[in-house]
Structure 1
Amino acid sequence: MPLVLALALVSWQVGVTGPLLGLDRWVRHWVGEVRDALHSGLLDWLGHLLSDLGSTVPAIPVLLGAGALAAWRSRRAGLRRWWLPLLVAPLAALLIPLLVVPAKDYFARPGPLGQPLAPGSWGWYPSGHTTTACVSYGVGALLLGRTWPLAARRRLYAVTGLLGLAVGLGLIWSVYHWFLDVLAGWCLAALVLWALARWLPREDVRDDARTG
C-alpha cells in the first residue's frame, strides 16, 4: 500500500539521517525565503492559528462532540448501531498518543530550529499536531457523515481533508515542524481513516432520509 511504503521510507530516512532529509532543509529554506519576502503578519497569524487546531484542545473535544452528535443523529435515523460513534470517538482519541508518542521517543528527532532535546522529552517526528488534527477531525467527519445525505457527506469530507492539509502547512510555515514530520503525520492519519472507513458498517441514511 502506498501510504505504508511512504511512511516506512520516511521513517527509515529519519532514523538513519538519510539523503531524503535534504528535502526538509530545502522546504525550510524555501518557506523562509517566501515568508521573509511577503513579511505578512496575517499569514504568520494564520499559520499559528492553523497549527493550534492540531492541539489536543480543540481537536479532541471536537472529536468527542462529533461522536455524540453522530450517535444522536444515528438513533433518530433509525440506524441499528446508533451507539457505535460513542465507542469509536474515545477509542480514536486514545489511539493518537499510542501512535505518536512511542515514535517520537524512538526517533528523538530535533526540531527545525535546532532545539536540542531535553532529557526525557520527545522528538519532533512524527508531527503530533498533524496526526491529532487529521485523526480527530477525520474520524469525527466519518462518524457524522454516516448520518448525512451523500452530497453533503462528500462536502464534509472534502472540507475536513483540506483542514488537515492546512494544519500541516501551518506547522511548516510557522517552523514548528520539518516537512517530513508533517508528511508522516498525514500518512499515519490516512491509514487510521482508511481502516476505520473499511471497518464501519454501512448503515448510511438515504439521500431522502430526514435526520433533523
Structure 2
Amino acid sequence: MAGSALLRRRGPRPWLPPLWAALAMAAVPAVVVPVKSWIGRTGPPAMAATGAHDGFFPSGHTATAAVAYGAAVLLLLAPRADSFRAPPHAGASVTPPHAEPARALPHAAAPADAPPHAEPDGMRPRNRHARARAWAAVAYVLLNSGVAVGLVRCGYHWPLDVVGAWCLSGVLLWGLAQALTRPVRRRPGPRRPRASTVPAVPGR
C-alpha cells in the first residue's frame, strides 16, 4: 500500500523511496545479528529454560516492527515532489520602471453564511496533513508499545533489549527520512526567461 502510494507521486524516479525503505529493512538484521553475537547477553529465565542460545540484546523483533511501521509512515506522509517547486511568480519578468503600477484589487467578500472563524482554502490541506501526521504518530507509538509489552510480558526479552532496539531503529529511520526528503528538496523549480528591463529604442 505504501509503495503504490509513492509510485503515484509526481517527479523523477518514483521507485527510489520504496527502494530506500527496503534498504532500511534489510539493514535491521545486518546490524542486529552481529551486535547480538558480540554482546552475547543471556535471555530471561523463560527463554533460558528452553535452551535458547545467548544473544538477546537488542531485540530483533522490536527493531523489525519499529523500522517496518516507521518506514510505512514515512512513505505515506513523504512530501510530494511538486510541493517544493518554485511558486508560479518565481522567475517572472521584471516590471519595467516606466510601467504603470498595478492597482490592488479589492478582496472578495466572504459569503454571508460563512462562519467568522472559517480558514482560507489554502490552509485546509496543510491542516489535514498535520492531522494525518499526528494520527500516524499516535498509531506508530501504540503499535510499537504493544509489541514491546508483549515481548517483555511473555518473557522473550528483557526491557533493556527493547530499549536498545528502539535506539537502533531511531537511527535507521532518521537515515531513511533524510534519504526520502533530500532528493525532493534539491529539485529545481521551473525557470522562465527574464524579460529585459531596458526600454526599446524607437526607430529613427
Aligned match for 1:135, one of 67, 70, 74: 67
Give the distance between the partners of 2:172 and 2:73, measured in 1 at CA: 13
Task: Name the counterpart of 1:107.
Answer: 39
TM-score (norm 2): 0.58
**Residue correspondence of structure 1 range 171-186 to structure 2 within 5 A:** 171-186=151-166
Give the aligned residue type for 2:48.
Q
Higher helix share: 1
**Residue correspondence of structure 1 range 116-155 to structure 2 within 5 A:** 121-146=53-78, 149-155=129-135
Q: Does 1:97 align with 2:77?
A: no
Worse-superposed segment, 176-185 or 110-119: 110-119
Give the Å deviation of 1:117. 9.5
Give the % identical residues: 40
User: Could you say which structure has the larger radius of gyration?
Assistant: 2
Structure 2 residues not aligned, in runs of 5+: 81-128, 186-204
Does structure 1 retain, via aligned residues, the 8 Å contact 2:35–2:58? yes
Flag the structure with more relative contact order, 1 or 2, with Cα contacts below 8 A and sequence separation at least 6.
Answer: 2
Does structure 2 retain, via aligned residues, the 8 Å contact 1:142–1:157? no
Task: Name the counterpart of 2:110.
Answer: none
TM-score (norm 1): 0.56
**Aligned in 2, Cα 1:199/1:76: closer, same or farther, shift over 3 Å?**
closer
Give the Å deviation of 1:118. 6.3
Q: Does 1:158 align with 2:90?
A: no
Does structure 2 retain, via aligned residues, the 8 Å contact 1:142–1:197? yes
Does structure 2 retain, via aligned residues, the 8 Å contact 1:109–1:124? yes
**Aligned in 2, Cα 1:117/1:154: closer, same or farther, shift over 3 Å?**
same
Structure 1 residues not aligned, in runs of 5+: 1-68, 205-212
Task: Name the counterpart of 1:192.
Answer: 172
- Let me know the Cα RMSD of the aligned residues: 2.6
Give the distance between the partners of 1:87 and 1:185, measured in 2 at CA: 23
